[in-house]
Amino acid sequence: MNPISIRPITGVLGAEIDGIDLATPLDEHSRRAITQGFAEHSVLVFRDQSLSIQQLEAFALQLGEFGDTPFITPLDDHPHVLAVAREADEAGPLFGGSWHSDWSFQPTPPSATILYGRDVPDAGGDTLFSNQYLAYETLSDAMKQMLAGLHGVHSAKRSYGPGAVFGQPDPNAAMHIQGSEEALAKQSHPLVCTHPVTGRKLLFINDVYTIGIEGFTGPESAALLGYLLGHCRDVNFQCRVRWEPGTLTMWDNRCVQHHAINDYSGQRREMYRVTLAGERPT
């Protein structure tokens, strides 16, 4: 392979990293490049990787332990690997098709998600990412003071609860998603968290799973979250990843939100996804 090189995608988020073959065990130099690059850029894109499911799992396990994946049936014999798939003729809601960070309703949401493109549209099906350090840092001091000590209420109920978007399995969908009453559980996380690796502060909320602010009335939560959630996805905080077959992208759910784009009707898309276990946001 060529020497390892890192090229930022935008001025604020993401980098393409070349010169590492993820199918083979990482040497110390490659592992350091990945962990340092991840801390600096939060979204890392590796092109032209050729990975079996076992090699994808082995790569992930060199960086951490698997996270828990609720509500979605994983691959046979690979309980930690999801096929994030959509057939060319599917018309239902798109998995991941709104701004979110993965499983923020869990007590310890995943630190990272790793997504590997196996069958990708010729054009379309990109993924957007938004930098939540910047979302925090660009707030006024007065707003930062107001948010300090507040907690967001997170829940999967709007996605996977009874009657929710993915509440019932869709027989026409490539993914088997089964909502349940468990989605009604609520979990509090600070609105402003400190990243355990970088020590930087960030806003930890998202459109899909943050349903309110502790101690606020519904209208108060809606007003404040409405402003903050719009701010979180300011185009000036973003990067966009265009997928090719063999692209692997890993992102840091602790400081990044993402959004899959629903613009590839008539084309098939199939990705494999694993998450890495995280810690309680503080």
Q: Of the candidates 12, 45, 139, 260, which one interacts with ligand SIN according to CB under 6 A?
A: 260
Find the shortest distance in angstroms from Cβ 4 to ligand SIN: 25
Find the shortest distance in angstroms from Cβ 33 to ligand SIN: 24
Beta strand 238-241 pairing with 15-18: unpaired
Find the shortest distance in angstroms from Cβ 271 to ligand SIN: 6
Closer residue to ligand SIN (CB): 104 or 221: 104
Binding footprint of ligand SIN, residue count (CB under 6 A):
10
Token digits of residue 260: 């899959």
The answer to whether 273 is a known catalytic residue is yes
* 127 lies in the site for ligand SIN, by CB under 6 A: yes
* 113 lies in the site for ligand SIN, by CB under 6 A: yes
Out of 151, 154, 254, 273, pick the active-site residue: 273
The answer to whether 259 is a known catalytic residue is no
Q: Exposed/middle/buried for 163, CB within 10 Å: 0-12, 13-18, 19+?
A: exposed
Q: Of the candidates 84, 156, 232, 256, which one interacts with ligand SIN according to CB under 6 A?
A: 84
Beta strand 112-119 pairing with 248-252: antiparallel
Find the shortest distance in angstroms from Cβ 275 to ligand SIN: 9
The answer to whether 100 is a known catalytic residue is yes
Out of 41, 100, 154, 254, pick the active-site residue: 100
Residue type (1 letter), 82: L
CA angle, corner 39, sides to 186 and 78, nearest 5? 60
Q: How far apart are CA 54 and CA 38, in angstroms?
A: 23
Q: How far apart are CA 64 and CA 196, in angstroms?
A: 14
Q: Exposed/middle/buried for 215, CB within 10 Å: 0-12, 13-18, 19+?
A: exposed
Question: Any idea which residues carry the catalytic annotation?
Answer: 100, 102, 258, 273
- Tell me which residues touch ligand SIN (CB under 6 A): 84, 96, 102, 113, 115, 127, 258, 260, 271, 273
